Structures are given as structure tokens and as C-alpha cells.
Amino acid sequence: MSSIRPYRPSDMNDVIDICVRTGDGGGDATGKFSRDTLLPDVYAVPYIRHDPGLAWIVDDGERAIGYLVATADTRDFARWFADAWWPEVAGRYLPSTSETPGERGLIESASNPARMLVSDVDAYPAHLHIDLLPATQGQGLGRRLIDTLVAELRERGVTGLHLTAGATNVGAIAFYERVGFHELERDDGSVTFGMTL
């Protein structure tokens, strides 16, 4: 029986693994980039480093099989990412002589944390990333993770939450709509959703 619990430092390797194994539109991104740590260094690890109190794990009794990481204040997080986090890790990826397709775009995106400031960021200041291994999906665990985050954000007085999904990740888009998010904006590659708290 899987349970949801707060993140522990011993979960880091599992979080990195889950991020990679779900990082290609919900599918496995292993080998997609010259270093498998790139996706986690952009979409998972910095959130844990910035505010581990907004990180939860789905635990199957043996290991983490899913997680949710978030920030309560996207503007503050983007500043920290630009000033502290990305300068610390960028040397792992820049310059890269072995970039794979899509890697340059991800590195450029990470080098521009202002990308996180969606047009409605003040109405929806918090944002999240959630990843569950495929075998874990469809069991209500994603909904429970979202509910856990929402309760904590309300406790902190946060008024809104957003996230962005790849436009081709139809399963994730359907899930976000089911758990109470509504579409804020869409472009060719992504859909941004919001939830008023």
C-alpha cells in the first residue's frame, strides 16, 4: 500500500530517477540529454533545495515512486534560481559539446528563469511539478499529492497555484482538469493551468 509522506534527504536519488523516467511527456527521458541530471536540475532538485517543506513523496514501502515539489512564491523562486541555483549547476551543462536534440532549448530555458513568470503569476503565485512512475498512475495518488499541497499553501496564506504541461501530454492535461485546475493560456508547446485557493 503506497503512502504519501514529506520528502526526506534519503529520497533524492529516487526523485532524480523518477524525474528522468517521466521527463519525456510522461515517458522515459533516459538518454535524451547528454547528462541525465539535466531535467532534475531544472524541474525537481532546485524546488527541494529552495523549500523542502513543499516536497512530498509517494512511498511504496521500499522506495519513492512519485513526488510533488512546489514553490509558494514563483517570483521569489525565479530570483533564487537565477542568483543561486543555476550558477551553481550550469557548469555541468555549459558549454556542452555533446548536446542532444532539445538540450540546447532546455539549457537556454533554465538560463532564463523569467520564463516561470506566467502572465497570471500574481493571481497564481505558487507553482508545482508532479511526477508519478507509470505503474503508480491511476490510483488516486496524484490527487492526494495535489490535495496535500493545496492544504499547505492555504495554511501559508497563498491565494493561487499554477502549473504548465506539455501540450501533447494529454493524460496529464486531463488529470489537471479533473483535480480542479482550469486553463489559463496555451501555445504551440504548452498549456498553463491555474487553481484559485
Q: What is the 3-state secondary structure (H, E, C) of 153-181?
A: HHHCCCCEEEEEEECCCHHHHHHHHHCCC
Residue indicated by cell numbers 501540450: 167
Q: Give pLDDT, residue 102.
A: 81
Instruction: Give the Cα separation of 105 and 116 in Å (integer).
Output: 15
Which grid coordinates belong to 19? 524525474
Go through 92-124 and write b for each residue having 16 or more CB atoms within 10 A of its CB, e for each that does not: ebeeeeeeeeebeebbeebeebeebebeebeeb
Residue indicated by cell numbers 514529506: 6
Full pLDDT tens readout for the chain, 197 residues: 899 999 999 999 999 999 999 998 888 999 988 889 999 999 999 999 999 999 999 999 999 999 999 999 999 999 999 999 999 999 888 766 666 768 888 888 899 999 999 999 999 999 999 999 988 888 899 999 999 999 999 999 999 999 999 888 888 999 999 999 999 999 988 999 999 99
User: What fold characterizes domain 3-196?
Assistant: Aminopeptidase (3.40.630)
Backbone φ and ψ for 137, nearest 5 degrees, come out as: -75, 155
List the one residue out of 4, 123, 120 whose CA is nearest residue 68: 4
Instruction: Give the Cα separation of 65 and 69 in Å (integer).
Output: 14
